[in-house]
Structure 1
């Protein structure tokens, strides 16, 4: 009986030890591969890049086109409970800005998503977003500064605008001028890859 119990405990420990970490992406159309095939989107490219590098991490995309920070906050508890992620990548805020919503509300919503993710034991990677120049420099700066403030105040990594060096390159953007095309997706994945790796446990970064 004692021997059987020891074997069972060892089996359970091994199973838990090798279980893949889950990375959840909570974003809007930029992460939902708007206007292109899902398999071409940066989230899918990132997942493939992790697999090619021997990572055990699994990437789950919970992004919805048109999503705002309020929408993400409304969904995050369900996502955290269902996915139990080790890392949550938050790519939200552009639609808040495009709708002229309050930067203070954006900050509150993002901060609450960070708090709830961390309360579930997940690390958070924040993707800084901005909006087109026709919205005025003051408002644009207020939106963009939210990410830097949260990074500093809550000690979470924030990647600079992921479409920097992409948004103004016609060959990398869709005709609407707002969404990156398929050619841009590997460039976005590479930017996020460099910041994601330090958040994964050594066993998830590469197989033995």
Structure 2
């Protein structure tokens, strides 16, 4: 019963953004600015929060503060799976021509008990498609609640490192490190971080992402 509830909660549609969020959409990519594309689920789509409070919006602000050229495009959809990302990625690559792709997918696959080998295979396909299009790729690792049993959760946690090792993608070992274990940093469903947690999530990925943002090879001529 708990497992079914967790699946339903993470798959709920994203709450409507506030007026302030609608006034500050992600900037549209231009030919003069390299794009950092975020392909994710509710953890990147600011579930339950105004969009401008989510870590993806905070990432854009930090990039601007550091006078880096990248524009962040948030292509996260609440409830999305790795297979869903595979179906959407070709069109996103054509539309945005990202220089960096950050993949934050897999949580919904795990909550639904999908075979880890299949999740891993689909993630490898995502990374390889993006690399073939000239993007540098970052993969964000996710952990599942402990009630799924040690055998499944441990295999699930390893698959993200396996994908990075196989493809050469950069790895964020655990996106919600020091967040998921703190009840006050999680919403009442126990699955989605609060507004207060969003800067911590950004810090968890920043040390991996910053070298790519500063690498001139990730700013291709257009």
Number of matched residues?
188
Aligned partner of 1:58 in structure 2 is 71
Contact 2:35 2:97 survives alignment (8 Å)? yes
Unaligned runs of 5+ in 2: 1-30
- TM normalised by structure 1 equals 0.87
Q: Does 1:67 align with 2:87?
A: no
CA distance in 2, matches of 1:133, 1:26: 25
CA distance in 1, matches of 2:162, 2:152: 15
Matches within 5 A, 1:102-121: 102-121=115-134
Contact 1:46 1:190 survives alignment (8 Å)? no
Deviations 1:120-172 (A, max 9, x none): 00000000012100000110111111111111121111111111211111111
CA distance in 1, matches of 2:178, 2:159: 21
Q: Choose the corresponding residue for 2:181, options 130, 153, 168.
A: 168
Aligned partner of 1:149 in structure 2 is 162
Per the TM alignment, residue 201 of structure 1 is displaced from its structure 2 partner at its CA by 4.6
RMSD: 1.4
Q: Does 1:180 align with 2:193?
A: yes
Per the TM alignment, residue 55 of structure 1 is displaced from its structure 2 partner at its CA by 1.0
Deviations 1:41-92 (A, max 9, x none): 0000011011011111100000000000000011000000100000000000
Unaligned runs of 5+ in 1: 1-17
Q: Does 1:198 align with 2:198?
A: no
- SS of aligned partner of 2:110: helix
Per the TM alignment, residue 200 of structure 1 is displaced from its structure 2 partner at its CA by 2.4
- Structure showing greater radius of gyration is 1
Contact 2:161 2:171 survives alignment (8 Å)? yes
Contact 2:53 2:195 survives alignment (8 Å)? yes
